[in-house]
């Protein structure tokens, strides 16, 4: 029985999902670039650059403490659950640009966060891979909250202009895909959009997004619907052709 399980595992096709803000929009997490998104209320330079952090860290901590509490009240939507449901048929890997943990809450077992995680803190400075999980009962980060060696803690997010430590690992995962599915993210935001280039030339690519998406580098099949509705349609196709 154990040997059969191993053979079945290795026979499973690998589906890699690359997800962005549109994946979590139905859960109540505002996207950044839509007309009603966060960038309409705040400028990038004001709350999402390392220079802004150095200039007024308390302001940024207040902003992300507020945002974190909003994230904590959000629940996975049907799209998250549909991706998790495919684990019974495929080897599913998720590479997400999102800071929330909704994929994990929905039951996805393998999730790589490209841009950090809202419920973790890390010391300021170069990302050394040292993270501190935040207590859901007391999730705020304050000025004076420091590591044992005296470095101020900041949100574990990648500010604009900073390196993306998990980008190489994300490229490795995409390169192993038998099927690549892109949900809720345009193919114009770099460096995450560059991950598409690491999929094999014969790998089928699906894009789920209600807005038209184009790429000069790759042909793909687009389902022009929101995450939950579009994934509902795609899941049927994938399971029928597994």
Q: Looking at the annotation, which residues are catalytic?
A: 115
Residue 221's DSSP bridge partners are 206
Extract the tokens encoding 221. Answer: 């099949």
CA torsion through residues 151, 155, 160, 163, sign: positive
Q: How far apart are CA 104 and CA 96, in angstroms?
A: 11
Q: How far apart are CA 51 and CA 123, in angstroms?
A: 16
Closest residue by Cα to residue 121 from 155, 94, 93: 155
Cβ neighbours of 240 (radius 10 Å): 7
Cβ neighbours of 109 (radius 10 Å): 12
């Amino acid at each position: 029985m154990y040997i059969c399980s191993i053979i079945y595992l290795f026979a499973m096709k690998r589906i890699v999902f690359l997800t962005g803000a549109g994946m979590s929009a139905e859960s109540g997490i505002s996207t950044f670039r839509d007309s009603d998104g966060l960038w309409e209320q705040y400028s990038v330079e004001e709350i999402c650059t390392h220079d802004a952090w150095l200039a007024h860290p308390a302001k940024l901590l207040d902003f992300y403490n507020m945002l974190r509490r909003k994230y904590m009240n959000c629940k996975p939507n049907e799209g998250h659950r549909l991706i998790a449901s495919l684990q019974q048929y495929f080897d599913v890997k998720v590479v997400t640009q999102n800071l929330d943990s909704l994929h994990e809450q929905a039951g996805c077992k393998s999730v790589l966060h490209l841009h950090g995680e809202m419920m973790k803190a890390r010391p300021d400075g170069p990302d050394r891979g040292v993270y501190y999980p935040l207590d859901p009962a007391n999730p705020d980060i304050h000025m004076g909250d420091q590591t044992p060696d005296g470095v101020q803690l900041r949100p574990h997010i990648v500010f604009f202009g900073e390196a993306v430590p998990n980008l190489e690992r994300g490229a490795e995962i995409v390169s192993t895909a038998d099927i690549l599915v892109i949900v809720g993210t345009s193919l114009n935001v770099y460096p995450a959009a560059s991950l598409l280039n690491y999929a094999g030339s014969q790998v089928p690519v699906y894009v789920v997004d209600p807005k038209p998406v184009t790429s000069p580098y790759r042909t793909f099949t687009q389902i022009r619907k929101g995450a939950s509705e579009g994934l509902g349609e795609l899941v049927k196709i994938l399971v029928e052709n597994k």
